[in-house]
Amino acid sequence: MNMRSNHGLTATLIALSLTVAGCAEVQRASEDIARQSGNPRLAGAIHGVGNVVGSLFPIGYEEESSIGQAMALQVVARYGGVVDQPELVRYVNLVGRAVANTSDRPDIPYRVAILEHESINAFAAPAGYIFVTRGLLKQVRNEAELAAVLGHEIAHVSQKHILDVIQRSKRLAGVTEAGLSYATSNPAAFKTVIDGAVKKLLDEGLDQDKETEADTIGEVFATRVGYDADAYVNLLTRLRDLKGDDRALFKTHPNFSARIEAVQKTIQSKHLVATGVLLPERFARMAKRI
Distance in Å, CB of 273 to other proteins, minimum: 10
Q: Does 4 bind other proteins (CB under 8 A)?
A: no
Q: Which is nearer to other proteins, 164 or 195 (CB)?
A: 195
Give the footprint of other proteins on residues 244-273 (CB under 8 A). none
CA distance 231 to 218: 12
DSSP 117: -
Residue 130 exposure: Cα atoms within 13 Å on the Cβ side: 27
CA distance 204 to 206: 7
CA distance 76 to 69: 11
3-state secondary structure of 216: helix
Question: Which of 101, 139, 208, 264 touches other proteins by CB under 8 A?
Answer: 101
CA distance 224 to 232: 14
Q: How many CB atoms lie within 10 A of CB 144?
A: 28
Number of chain positions touching other proteins (CB under 8 A)? 70
Residue 252 exposure: Cα atoms within 13 Å on the Cβ side: 16
Give the footprint of other proteins on residues 172-201 (CB under 8 A). 178-181, 183-184, 187-188, 190-191, 194-195
Q: Which is nearer to other proteins, 104 or 261 (CB)?
A: 104
Distance in Å, CB of 120 to other proteins, minimum: 21
DSSP 186: -
Angle at 194 between CA 191 and CA 200, to 5 degrees: 140
Q: Does 63 bind other proteins (CB under 8 A)?
A: yes
Phi-psi sector, 260: left (phi>0), alpha (psi -120 to 50), beta = alpha
Q: Which is nearer to other proteins, 91 or 256 (CB)?
A: 91
Question: Which of 87, 107, 241, 246 touches other proteins by CB under 8 A?
Answer: 107
Question: Which of 2, 3, 41, 56 touches other proteins by CB under 8 A?
Answer: 56
Q: Which residues contact other proteins (rule: CB under 8 A)?
A: 19, 22, 24, 27-28, 47, 50-51, 53-63, 65-67, 69-70, 72-74, 76-77, 81-82, 89-90, 93-94, 97-98, 100-102, 104-109, 111, 113, 129, 143, 178-181, 183-184, 187-188, 190-191, 194-195, 224-227, 275, 277, 279, 282
